[in-house]
Structure formats: C-alpha cells, structure tokens
Structure 1
Amino acid sequence: MTATRRFEGYGVLITGAARGIGAATARRLAGEGAAVLVTDVDLAEAEKTAAAIRELGDRAEAFTCDVGERTSVEAAVAHAVAAFGSLDVLVNNAYGCTPDAPLFEDESDETWARDLDLTLTGAYRCARAALPHLVASGRGAIVSVGSVNGLQDFGNHAYSAAKAGLVSLTRTLAGHAAPRGVRVNLVAPGTVRTTAWEGRDTDLELAAALYPLGRVGEPEDIAAAVAFLASRDAAWITGTTLCVDGGLLAVNTGFRQAVRQRGEA
C-alpha cells in the first residue's frame, strides 16, 4: 500500500486489468484508496488480481468486460457505479495486437478490423458509456494506455494505427469533455515487461540496450504515470500524451552507438 491516498472515495474502472499494466494500475490506484473494478474477458484471472488487492486490505471487484461489445461495456460501467456509488476514473487499457504478415499485402481485413476494434473502438465504447458518470462525479478523468507505436514506427500496422488513433481521440475528447469537468489524457509506454514477453528474455535484453535509461519498463512504471494523470495532481492537464519510454523517442541510442563504434574503428 502506498502512503499517499489520492483516490480515497473514488470509483475506478480499468479494462484489460487481469494482468500486466492493467493489473499493476489496479494495485496502484487501490493502494491509494480507490475502489477498483478489475475488468477483463478473462474473469478468472481478473478475480485473482482483485483478490490479491483485497488481501492487502484494499477494495476491488472483478467483472467480465469485452470492450468489443457495447452491451458488455455498458454492463461493466453500470456495475461500477452501483458497487462504488460513483465512477470517477476510467482507464482504457484493453487492446488487440496481432503479429504482422510478412508482406503488407497479405494482411487480412479481419486482422486489421479486430486490432482497431479492440484497441481504438473499444476505448471509444468505454468512454461513451462512462462519460455521463464521470461528469456527474465532478472530478472525472479518463486515462488511456497508448504506445510509442502510435508515435513512431516499431511495426504492427493495425495495432500502431489504432494506438495513433487513441492519441487523436484523446485530444478531441479532451476538448469536448473539458467544459464538462472531465480530463482526458494518454500514457504512451515503450517496451514493458509483461506476459506478452514471456519466454523472450533475450529479446528484452536486446531491447533494453536501445533504451537510454538502460532497461525496459515494468508495469509499475506505467501504473505510476496513469495514477498521476488520473489524480488531482494533474488537475490542469488534459489532452496530453505522456511518453513513459525510458527516453526511447527522445534519443536514438542505436544511431549513437553506431556512430561511436565507427569513430573507434
């Protein structure tokens, strides 16, 4: 449990929260006093995350939510409001990411549509359902988890396009929601050590060498940034994209290493 209780009395809904960044964010916000609805398509894993939070004396419930289905999203939002009395923070973390085909022309419509639907349209569905309640809370905030893929080329056409779309949606929704008292921001992580990288320790080591800060991210790094943007500490911040990427986008480490090696040759 963290010492600061910035979210005492808050009701929070997090999508894709059974593991990884979503689970770390649930732990962080609950540890700061929030009642957290841990939602995921994998209810069994979501319940494990919620149970671990409760064991620490904090408040969390698990609920099934498929961001690809409007009725599922609306049910999750309604449950959060009924269970916690309000919905103050929405964290859009669920996504879809399918490996690219070897050639762009071999990509299927189904793959493209699925990744965009889960990553971008899913966030839209959640924001649409949550917004009236966030307005009513008087302190509402939406934080979406984007990616450096939405800002620069790191592969994954559909996933990257969806994450770029989230950056734009963050700006336009921030403009719409600001007069209603709701802030909308986005965190753009670099490489983060999650279950998506299980069994790929060598790849993570190679990736770490490209980060100016010398390591890949941990889920807790992203959770801390989400907590900041969701809190009143960020009360005058909306429509922004916060890169949490170990300096990846700011410094071309690979280029600098190549130049240094050539100079030493």
Structure 2
Amino acid sequence: MTDTTRFAGYGVLITGAARGIGAATARRFAEEGARVLVTDVDVPAAEEAAAGLRELGLTAEAFGCDVGDRASVAAAVQRAVDAFGSLDVLVNNACHCTPDAPLFEDETDDEWAADLDITLTGAFRCARAALPHLAESGRGAVVNVGSVNGLTDFGNHAYSAAKAGLGSLTRTLAGHAAARGVRVNLVVPGTVRTAAWEGREEQLDSMRDLYPLGRVGEPEDIAAAITFLASRDASWITGTTLVVDGGITAVNSGFQEYRRSKS
C-alpha cells in the first residue's frame, strides 16, 4: 500500500510521462499526494495521461515539452512553478533510441546526435532550468532514468553512450547541487514492459529466462524506485546509481546455464 501523504504539497515535473515508465511514475507520485506535471512531446497522449489521473481524484496537469528545445523546457518548468507554487522534484525520463546500423561504420552523425541530444543533453537542459526552483523548495530532488545499456553491452551505441553519460552527469550534478540542498540520483532499469514492445510481446516474455528473478520489469517497478529516491526516505542519498534490473547485470545467466549443462 502506498503512502498517500509522502509527497503531499510537492510539485513534480516528469518528462516523457505520457506512457510507460513516465506514466507509471506520474501515477505513483500523484497517488502519494504530489501535484504532477505530465510532460511529453506527444501532447495529446500527455493530456490523456493527466486526465486519467484526474479521473482518479488525483492532481495532474499536462504540458507539451520537447527536451531538445531550451525554450520548451523553460516553459515547462515555469508552468510547474506557476501551477503548483513550487517545483520539488524533477524526473528526467525522456529519451531517444535509434536502432543500430548493421555495421558501426554505417552509423550516421544525425542518428548519433539525436540520441545524445534527447537522452543526455535533454536531461541537462531540464536540470539547468529546474535547479534554482529545486534549491528554493528546500527539499529538491532530481531523479534521472538511465538504463543497463549505460553499464554494459546491450547494443545501441548512441543510446548506450547517452545513458552512460547520464550516470556521469548524475554524479557531477550531485556534487554541485548538494550545497544547495538538492539531491541527484540515477535509476537504472533493465528490460521493462512498455509500449516500445507492442507487437513483440512474445519476444519480450521470452527474455524472462535471462533474468535471475524470472521476469522482465514492469513500469511500476521503476516508478517505485524513482519515488523512493525522490522522497525523504532517501534524504541522505545523493549521487548514487540504483540498479533495478531483476539481477541481469549482477548474474551472468548464460554462463551459469552453461556451467550447469556441463556439470
């Protein structure tokens, strides 16, 4: 059971919140008392997500935000402050992932730049705009959403480099922001059941055998970790990386299976 008061009075801005991890995180914050700005480049989907929360009696608004555009980011941050009176939590969830070319030398500059600009520089833009307001709140927190791709090889060169960079940004920003009373942490999901897997559900479910805990992740698994790091329960945690991946980066399942087959 969630604590319906843990984020009472908090203003929360989440990027890429129209669906998947972002939408689940918006709901979790709202269920725990927060006022949530659901932002996404897909404005109709963001509006639908926010309306769904309001139908549950929760407090949420939608706002179009392209994290690739500084003015759009500034407008979203200002909207959160104007609507809620403060901005206490920023969740950088928006990302962009371009499928790899068959050969590395066929990767284009534009594809590389797109993944880095949205996934990494987008988080930078949002944190830059939000930080003064987070510092003013007295309980500010930034939670960045990374990926196991940023820790080890799961493919996707540009996306993985961007997620690895997000880990570094988390640590350096945590060092800077600590003196201003703002905590900055990173959640690293493994494979999660989101809209990106629509039409490939059988392939997704087959991955459960790769995970020591026997299943792929659900958006709610990641939302729980994000809200923990944003809460006062994590008041002495900053600059950390919380891996939420069913054990896949800790246990080499393929090697273990090979060893069992040879024993």
Tell me the equivalent position of 2:159. 159
CA distance in structure 2 between the partners assigned to 1:232 and 1:49 by the alignment: 26
CA distance in 1, matches of 2:129, 2:151: 27
Report the RMSD for the aligned CA atoms in angstroms.
0.8
| Residue deviations 1:204-225 (CA, integer Å, cap 9, x gap) | 1221100000000000000000
Hey, what does 1:100 align to over in structure 2?
100
Matches within 5 A, 1:20-39: 20-39=20-39
Residue 183 and residue 3 in structure 1: after superposition, are their counterparts in 2 closer, same or farther (change >3 A)?
Answer: closer
Residues in 2 aligned to 1:105 and 1:60: alpha-carbon distance in whole angstroms: 45
Give the Cα–Cα distance (whole angstroms) in 1 for the partners of residues 228 and 2 of structure 2.
Answer: 13
Secondary structure (helix, strand or coil) at the match of 1:209 reads helix
**SS where residue 185 of structure 1 aligns?**
strand
Matched residue pairs, number? 263
Question: Residue 90 of structure 1 corresponds to which residue in structure 2?
Answer: 90
Q: Which amino acid aligns with 2:133?
A: H
Once the two structures are TM-superposed, the CA of residue 188 in structure 1 deviates from its matched residue by 0.2
Aligned to 2:178: 178
Please name the residue that 2:15 is paired with: 15
| Residue number in structure 2 paired with 1:238 | 238
Could you tell me how far apart the structure 2 residues matched to 1:5 and 1:77 are? Answer: 23
Give 3-state SS (helix, strand or coil) of 2:154's partner. Answer: coil
Deviation at 1:4, TM superposition (A): 3.7
- Structure 1 unmatched runs, 5+: none
**Residue identity matched to 2:238:** T
Q: Secondary structure at the match of 1:153?
A: coil
Cα distance in 1 between the residues matched to 2:255 and 2:203: 19
Q: Which residue of 1 aligns with 2:117?
A: 117
Give me the whole-angstrom Cα distance separating, in 2, the residues matched to 1:249 and 1:190.
Answer: 9
Alignment match, 1:226: 226
Quote the residue 1:260 is aligned against.
260
Mean Cα displacement is larger for which, 203-212 or 231-240? 203-212
Shift of 1:202: 2.1
CA deviation profile, 1:49-97 (whole Å, cap 9, x unmatched)? 1011111111000000000000000000000000000000000000000
Cα deviation for residue 258 of structure 1 reads: 1.5
Question: What amino acid does structure 2 have at the position aligned with 1:155?
Answer: G
Tell me which moved more, 229-238 or 202-211: 202-211
What SS does the aligned partner of 1:143 have?
A: strand
One-letter code aligned to 1:217: G
Task: Report the CA distance between 1:262 and its aligned residue.
Answer: 2.3
My pick for the range that moved more, 253-262 or 126-135, is 253-262
**Counterpart residue type for residue 38 of structure 1:** V
Amino acid at match of 1:55: E
Distance 1:34 1:3 in 2: 11
What is the CA distance between 1:2 and its match in structure 2?
A: 3.1
Deviation at 1:198, TM superposition (A): 0.7
1:249 maps to what in 2?
A: 249
Q: Kindly provide the CA deviation profile for residues 103-137 of structure 1, in whole angstroms up to 9, marking residues without a partner as x.
A: 00000000000000000000000000000000000
In 2: Cα distance, 1:131 partner to 1:178 partner: 11
Distance 2:212 2:20 in 1: 23
Give 1:196's aligned amino acid: A
User: In the alignment, residue 89 of structure 2 is paired with which amino acid?
Assistant: V
Distance of 2:18 and 2:258 partners within structure 1: 40
Question: Could you tell me the percent identity over the aligned residues?
Answer: 77
